[in-house]
Amino acid sequence: MRKPGFLLLYILLLTANILLGVYCSFSSLFTLTLLPVMILCIPIKRDTIFCMGAAFVTGFLADFLQDGMLGISILSLVPIGLMRKGIIQLVFGSEVFSRGEDISFRRQGLGKMTLAIAMVTGIYLAIYIFVDCAGTMPRSFCLMRWIISLAGNTVIGAFAADLLTKDELGRWR
């Protein structure tokens, strides 16, 4: 069961992502983002169209309020909303949908959650970095940027996912 503050946590993580993007540019080799994890953690009862709409609005707000190209986060995030159900079914199995339970670290475990986070983050970063580097940087730089960003964002995304998926009851249904 999702605790009532999910929307508030979602907005706070979006704000944190925007502030980190504006004020904390670590390196040209590292792209910090929490956005794909936030889309992954949307409650299971929401359908694909809702997730794609949420991804569009989230990406638009991130692009509009950060100093970047308008549309690059939207372009990278909407496919995550489209593939979210398939990734959840691939990693966690179809029983998540048949039970109607939301994903969480407690129920699915660290290994499966980390795999799902790495998958959505990897897809997001592949699109984002490909569009950002398109014809302006060598492929080796783009690949190194993708690897470093994927490793860092998977770890950071695990903490964000843990915040968004805390179980209130802490037991199986």
Look up the CATH number of the domain holding residue 107: 1.10.1760
Position 125 in a domain:
yes
Listed in sequence order, the residues at least 6 apart from 139 whose beta carbon sits closer than 8 Å to its beta carbon are: none
pLDDT (0 to 100) of residue 2: 46
Position 143 in a domain:
yes
Position 170 in a domain:
no
Position 171 in a domain:
no
Position 56 in a domain:
yes
Closest by Cα among 155, 76, 67, 47 to 110: 155
Using CA atoms, how far residue 89 sits from 17, 75, 81, 96, 97, in Å, is 27, 23, 14, 8, 8
Position 172 in a domain:
no
- Domain hosting 59: range is 6-164
Closest by Cα among 83, 80, 93 to 37: 80
pLDDT band of residue 29 (cuts 50, 70, 90) is confident
Roughly how many angstroms between the first and final C-alpha of the chain, as a whole number?
9
Mean pLDDT of all residues in 84-106: 88
Position 169 in a domain:
no
Total structural domains within the chain: 1
Say whether pTM exceeds 0.85. Answer: yes
